[in-house]
Amino acid sequence: MNSLTNSSPDTENLIRPGSYYGNGIPYLPIDGYPGKIIAIEGTDGVGRSTQIHLLREWLEVQGYGVIETGWTRSELMQPTIELAKASNTLNKLTFVLLYATDFADRLEKEIIPALKAGFIVLSDRYIFTAMARAGVRGVDRTWMRNLYGFAIAPHLVFYLKIDEKTLIRRVLQSRGMDFWESGMDMKLGYDIYESFRAYQRSLLREYTSMADEFGFRVLDAKRKIDVIQDELRRQIGAFLADSDAATQPASS
Amino acid sequence: MTFSLLHATDFADRLLYNIVPPLKAGMIVLADRYAYTAFARDAARGVDRRWVRELYSFAVKPDLAVYFKVPIEVSTDRLMARRVKLKFYEAGMDMGWSPNALESFRIFQGKVLDEYDRLVEEFGLSVVNAVGSITEQQRTFRKLVSQHLAIEETDEQLDEQLA
């Protein structure tokens, strides 16, 4: 069976933060919007939400408007995704496309309006989570990158990097392993522990392979919460100071 | 965008559960609308053409794709004769071109038809003039299908002879 259309790889474009990765959404031009997107990436159990919570407070005290957005949180799609996960009818393609739909909904309804209004968007996971999950399930990489060509390149992407061993201990300590986080749909084995380990290991490999391509700022997630938070604040502070200076008139 | 992606998700689900298995079993799958509908409708809504095509690159290329073509007046007349109310999205009311459903439908369908003309060339769709009577259309349609199947059969016979 031949495929309907031939995927031709995109000509390698330079990624510009705050712009679309690919051709974007033609009816929504976003050039010159004052807001910023800061994405925190990392697998389960690396402390993303704690860090985002602390960052939000810190940014708001300085007078920045902040909104948070997170994976599968779109009003339109969340119930559908939960239902599909529960009913076990998802295959790798519908899985990928449901996530993309959720992201598109949040992009149009939350992220783009916030950027236009000059907010800082703190994104708990971004498209890289989708790419990693699709990658380990063998979805074509070029196709995935084209699919997310409508996404906006974040101004900063922090990747909270953790090793397999620490990750397993943290997840077991907090809430235990669940079906999807363990990649049980991939039928790597009947044992949830072994499946979790194999699945998370290949996820980590996927994230690492994207680090250069998408300019991740890699942070060691094994360190203490406040040490990581300080590092985040230092880097974000420097970035915001630079961009605030760039938008202010030179004479003042 | 979400409209486009939701439809693609639905299509992917049907492709893997309802289309690919019968194809593997050697059956004929009759699809009432295919990815071309998405190409036409999404582009009419302002989604990037190339992006939609690449999105659907997982779709199986149909052995025969037939486009039943009617001018915009005929399709509006037919719809009006059958029922009172146009559906919101069907009329492209989400685009805000006109508060009047029929007017909006005309504008939207006009764009959709333009896209179809583009698709006929790009993907070599077979065009059936859908202005004629159902009987006429069905005859043309059957001719197209049987030509197609006949060719397949000869190929198979040839293969058998060669084997």
Contact yes or no for A5 and B56 at CB 8 A: yes
* Cα–Cα dist A183/A194, whole Å: 10
Confidence of residue A213 (pLDDT cuts 50, 70, 90): very high
Nearest residue on chain B to A97, judged by CA atoms?
Answer: B9
Partners of B61 on chain A (C-beta within 8 Å) are 1-4
- Cross-chain residue pair B54–A94, CB shorter than 8 Å: no
> Is there a domain that residue B138 lies in?
no
Report yes or no on B152 lying in a domain. no
Q: Which residue range(s) make up the domain with B34?
A: 2-131
Which of B9, B57, B61 faces A97 most closely, judged by CB atoms? B9
CB contact under 8 A, B2 and A104: yes
ipTM summary value = 0.72
Residue B42 lies in a domain: yes
pLDDT digits (tens, 9 = 90+) for B86-144: 888 888 888 888 888 888 989 999 999 999 999 999 999 999 999 988 899 999 999 99
Give me the residue from A27, A93, A150 closest to B51, CB to CB: A150
Chain B residues 60-89 within an 8 A CB cutoff of chain A: 60-62
DSSP state for residue A23 in the 8-state scheme: S
Distance CA B148, CA A233 (A): 66
pLDDT one-digit tens code per residue, A131-168 = 999 999 899 999 999 999 999 999 999 999 999 888 88
Task: Say which of B46, B50, B58 has its CB closest to residue A3.
Answer: B58
Is B114 domain-assigned?
yes
A92 to chain B, any CB pair closer than 8 A? The answer is no
**Does B142 reside within a domain?**
no
Quick check: is B76 in a domain? yes
Distance of alpha carbon A133 from alpha carbon A127, whole angstroms = 10
| pLDDT exceeds cutoff 80 at B84 | no
Which residue blocks in A107-150 are alpha helix, DSSP H?
112-116, 127-136, 141-147
Inform me whether the C-beta atom of residue A4 falls under 8 Å from chain B C-beta atoms: yes
Q: Is residue B153 part of a domain?
A: no
Answer yes or no: is pLDDT of A251 > 60.
no
Q: Would an 8 Å CB–CB cutoff place B12 in contact with chain A?
A: yes
Q: Is the pLDDT of residue A9 over 50?
A: no
Q: Where are the domains of chain A?
A: 36-240
In percent, how much of chain B has pLDDT > 70? 91
What's the rounded Cα separation, in Å, for the pair B135 and B137?
5
Total domain count, chain B? 1
Q: Flag whether B150 is in a domain.
A: no
- On whether the A36-240 domain is CATH 3.30.70.20, my answer is no
CATH number assigned to the domain comprising residue B107: 3.40.50.300
